[in-house]
Amino acid sequence: MSDARYAVGIDLGTTHCALSSVDLDASEWDEVTQDLMPVPQLTGPGTVAALPLLPSFLYLPHPDEFAVEDLTLPWDDRTDQLLGELARSVGARTPIRLVSSAKSWLCHPGIDRRSSVLPPGAPEDEVSRVSPYQASVRYLEHLRDAWNHAHPEHDLVRQEVTVTVPASFDPAARELTAEAAQTVGFRRLVLLEEPQAALYSWIHDSAGTWRKQVRVGDIILVIDVGGGTTDLSLIAVTARDGALELVRVAVGEHILLGGDNMDLALAHLVGGKLTATGTTLDHWQIQALTHGCRQAKEALLMDPSLEAVPVVVPSRGTRLIRRSLRTELTGGEVTHTLVEGFFPEVPVSARPAARPRAALTKLGLPYAQDAAVTRHLAAFLGMQKGATEDLPGFEPGGGSFLHPTAVLFNGGVFKANLLVERVMKVINDWLATDDAPPARLLAGVDLDLSVARGASYYGYVRRGGGVRIRGGTARSYYVGVESAVPAVPGVEPRIQALCLAPFGMEEGTQAEIPPQEFGLVVSEQVRFRFFGSPVRRDDQVGDLLEDWSAEEIEELEEIEAYLPAETRTPGEIVPVHLRASVTEVGTLLLEAMPLDGPEHWKVEFNVRNPANE
Amino acid sequence: MSESTPSVFRRFALLLSVFRRILTDARFAGQVAELHAGRATAASDARGGKETPRLREAEPNAGLQLLGLLQRDGRLIDFLEEDVGAYSDAEVGAAARVVHEGCKETLAQHFTIEAVRAESEGDRVTLAADFDVSAVRLTGNLVGQAPFTGSLVHRGWRVTETRLPQVATGHDLRILAPAEVEL
């Protein structure tokens, strides 16, 4: 079937991208030949160096900003956009032209993700802005070109490519990611959830010993705190035909809270000390301070005996000694701001202060309003307490939350052992209140690169080379149906939720067709309300829900169906069934199928914000 | 008859001595292998035929590039161009942190540097007859013949790998840092 030589894993991260590959011809069973590709990129004008990571920043330069030849890459000389390390560093000086966190914008429900909105503050007539979707395409193009430059015999578009997405990405954001990868040309594409990729990497690194480190009945909690997002997943260890099997049973909601928030929090704290002495900091200095604070934080967290570490904000001009600002970061400040601010000891009944998606007052990313990762974690475990009820070999959970038995950390934040210890303590305190045994720490993951490495390893195991994590979709999906009751003036018609896709649909499968019919008007956009539930595991296709709580079912963006007038008259009403399937790539596909014909029409996820139209 | 074109008799004598030394001296054997493969060794190049000049101008571009990198990431030129005498040690120290951190990162990114000698400084070391004179400098009471025994004063540094960035054709390396004008 395949002429692919490599399984390639791409971590398309909020702040960094990485690419790893497994040589399929040189790998057998647990003997896997894996590589991490250094990514050539502009590191300065006219300077190209290969770095392990590609910073996910896109910079839209002014025509007078760089000499044309200074933007040459080994494979092309596009001068209207530059990305990677140079984009990041010049963007610190000219933020109005810098696109950052495009991935977070890609799943932003409040904007049209295909319209050119980035950078959000850029003057429209000066900077030709890009869409979150286009930015993702650009990062993937760069990785493709870098790979092809290094492997001219093995074009990336013909290799088995796995692109990772946050487990919490909604169906629309997954589809946009898949579409971006397909636009770049990847023909053998699958998506993989990042926490799963981290676990795959851990399995690979254990060189076969993972089977001894976990046992049937274990529930592994993966806590992945990246640069911009926090992603949670629960993976259960079960047995099938005598062999261990892994089942991903639950994923958390999308939390825009990551390592960058933590560094920024420290920078504002230290910046506050400088402003108190009468200095004002500009954007560049805040960036430099953030960089300095990150270094100081790492030193303080590595060595608890240090009381304080100096932080210097270098001058922008040549007078480095006279104009640099000197201050310090103390161990107490790090403990207070980071450990207590982001990982406070809270009871398991604690919940985040506000719904993360509430009240968008202006165009910006919907950052988590509660910075406490441990409160988000408590909410997740509380909500998922029934996640393993249907699995054979698992005790019905008696406590107030799901009891993890092992924890895997991922993300550069957890290089600080102090934070790992704190989270473990919090979880084990929760477990102790329910008289449950403490959870174990699964150690040994490369915190920065495990997602890319796990993704390429996954491409290898998909061909039969090792254990796979099953699980399918981590939500059930519903379409809104107006109930047939007489209209009451002033009262909105009641909405029922019709289940289209049950929980846990595997890749490459189709759901049953629900009996309910919908009338679609030919040549007109028809919209439906659309819902997803991360906890309702027993609903079957065709089930109609009358009442539900906001905790168990979340409204997603609308879906819209459009019937072209090719074979029918505009305005005609066509009765259709709606059917859900999960594609081989791993995206959710909704189709409208007329009762009286063989056609299938794709029902699109609405990624446009109705408020903008 | 010159040293580089020996007589038949001389060549026969050479054959015998080389034969024995190839068997006993691995490093020498390696040099012969290089010569046999048509790759002249660095040492033989330096001693030179008549065509190669004995001294050459160092190529400035790599130097300019490294200065640019040390300035960009470590502010080295800014630091050295400033008058240190006018400031207190604390002020100089604060700036030195910026320079140290940045330059260290630049070195780590572009070079792999290791000590020439693995022993600790202060240890007694013995140098065999074939030691590399460019990698070890003898000082002090320098008399007699190898093997030499002495105390290691400095471990030395050796670059084992260079990874300097590629430079675009036409890029002006003489600009170590562009002037910056904020609008």
Lowest mean pLDDT among A156-160, A598-602, B64-68, B124-128: A598-602
Alpha-carbon span A267 to A293, nearest angstrom: 6
Q: Which pLDDT value is given to residue A359? A: 39
Mean pLDDT check: name the lowest of A9-18, A164-173, A329-338, A349-358: A349-358
Q: Is B103 on the interface with A (CB under 8 A)?
A: no
Domain positions in chain A: 6-192, 259-342, 476-612
Phi, psi (deg, nearest 5) at residue B91: -65, -45
Q: Distance between CA atoms of A83 and A15, rounded to whole angstroms?
A: 12
Q: Do A46 and B178 touch (CB under 8 A)?
A: no
Q: What mean pLDDT do residues B110-136 have?
A: 93
Residue among A510, A506, A504, A559 nearest A531 (CA): A559
Find the mean pLDDT for residues A318-342.
89
Q: Which of B82, B109, B166 sits opposite A320 (nearest CB)?
A: B82
Q: Does B92 contact A at CB distance below 8 Å? A: yes
Q: 10 Å Cβ neighbour count for A198? A: 29
Residue A611 has pLDDT above 70, yes or no: no
Determine whether the interchain pair A312/B82 forms a contact, defined as Cβ–Cβ distance below 8 Å.
Answer: no
Is the pLDDT score of B32 beyond 80? no
Residue A171: pLDDT band by 50, 70, 90 thresholds?
very high
Phi, psi of A320 (to 5 degrees): -65, -40
Phi, psi for residue A420 in degrees, rounded to 5: -60, -45
Confidence of residue B39 (pLDDT cuts 50, 70, 90): low
Q: What percent of chain A is modeled with pLDDT above 90?
A: 47
> Each residue of A140-160: pLDDT tens digit?
999 999 999 999 999 999 999
pLDDT at B51: 67
Domain residue ranges of chain B, discontinuous segments joined by +: 8-47, 60-112+161-176, 117-155
As a whole number of angstroms, the distance between CA A150 and CA A22 comes to 15
B87 touches chain A (CB under 8 A): yes
The verdict on A70 touching B (C-beta cutoff 8 Å) is yes
What is the pLDDT averaged over residues B148-172? 92
Candidates A44, A321, A322; nearest CB to B72:
A44
CA A391 to chain centroid: 27
- Assign B161 a pLDDT band (cuts: 50, 70, 90): very high
Render pLDDT for A78-100 as a digit per residue (tens, 0 to 9).
Answer: 888 999 999 998 988 888 899 98
pLDDT digits (tens, 9 = 90+) for A359-380: 334 456 777 788 899 999 999 9
B183 — pLDDT class (breaks 50, 70, 90):
confident
Rounded Cα gap, residues A354 and B33, in angstroms: 74
Superfamily of domain A6-192: ATPase, nucleotide binding domain (3.30.420.40)
Distance in angstroms (rounded) separating the CA atoms of residues A229 and A467: 27
- Between CA B153 and CA B157, with CA B154 as vertex, the angle to 5 degrees is 165
Average pLDDT over chain A, rounded to an integer: 88
- How confident is residue A356, by pLDDT bands cut at 50, 70 and 90? very low
pLDDT > 70? residue A355: no
Inter-chain CB proximity A46 and B168 less than 8 Å: yes
* 3-class SS of residue A103: helix
CB contact under 8 A, B81 and A312: no
- Any B CB within 8 A of A324 CB: yes
pLDDT at residue B63 is higher than 80: yes
Residue A600 has pLDDT above 70, yes or no: yes
Using a CB–CB cutoff of 8 Å, tell me whether A40 touches chain B: yes
Nearest chain A Cα distance for residue B163, angstroms: 8
pLDDT confidence of residue A363: 57
Using pLDDT thresholds of 50, 70 and 90, give the confidence band for residue A177.
very high
**pLDDT attached to residue A612:** 40
Q: Is the pLDDT of residue A191 over 60?
A: yes
Assigned token pair, A153? 């015999």
Which residues of chain A from 394 to 453 reach within 8 Å of chain B, CB to CB?
Answer: none
The least confident of A206-215, A482-491, B132-141 is A482-491
Query: pLDDT class for A402, splitting at 50, 70, 90?
Result: very high
A383 C-beta neighbours (distance < 10 Å), count = 19
Q: What's the CA gap between B62 and B60, in Å, rounded?
A: 6
pLDDT of residue A360: 39
For the stretch A331-339, contacts whose Cβ atoms lie closer than 8 Å and that sit 24 or more positions apart, written own/partner, are A331/A300, A331/A304, A331/A306, A331/A307, A333/A266, A333/A269, A333/A270, A334/A266, A334/A297, A334/A300, A334/A301, A337/A262, A337/A265, A337/A266, A337/A269, A338/A262, A338/A265, A338/A266, A338/A297, A338/A301, A338/A419, A339/A418, A339/A419, A339/A422
What is the mean predicted confidence (pLDDT) over A266-272?
89
Mean pLDDT on A271-292: 84
For the stretch A451-469, pLDDT in tens is 999 999 999 999 876 788 9
At the top level of CATH, the class of A259-342 is alpha beta
Interface test mutation site (partner B, options A71, A77, A320, max chain B beta carbons within 10 A): A320
pLDDT score, position B44: 46
How many Cα atoms within 13 Å fall on the side-chain side of residue A572? 12
More confident residue, A276 or B159: B159
Is the CB of residue A139 less than 8 Å from the CB of residue A16?
A: no
Asked if the model's pLDDT at residue A121 lies above 80, the reply is: no
- Compute the Cα dihedral for B96, B99, B105, B106 and give only its sign: negative
What is residue A31's three-state secondary structure? strand
pLDDT for A131: 93
Burial B125-142 (b: 16+ CB within 10 A, else e): eebeeeeeeeeeeeeeee
pLDDT at A362: 46
d(CA A276, nearest CA chain B) in Å: 20
Least Cα separation, residue B139 to chain A (angstroms): 38
Helix intervals (H) in B25-139: 26-36, 42-47, 60-74, 76-81, 89-110
For chain A, percent of residues with pLDDT exceeding 70: 94
Average of pLDDT values for B158-175? 92
Q: Tokens representing A378?
A: 């408590």
Count of helices and strands (H, E) across chain B: 6, 5
Q: Give how far the C-alpha of residue A165 lies from the chain's centroid of Cα atoms, to the nearest Å.
A: 5
**Poorest-pLDDT segment among A140-149, A516-525, A533-542:** A516-525
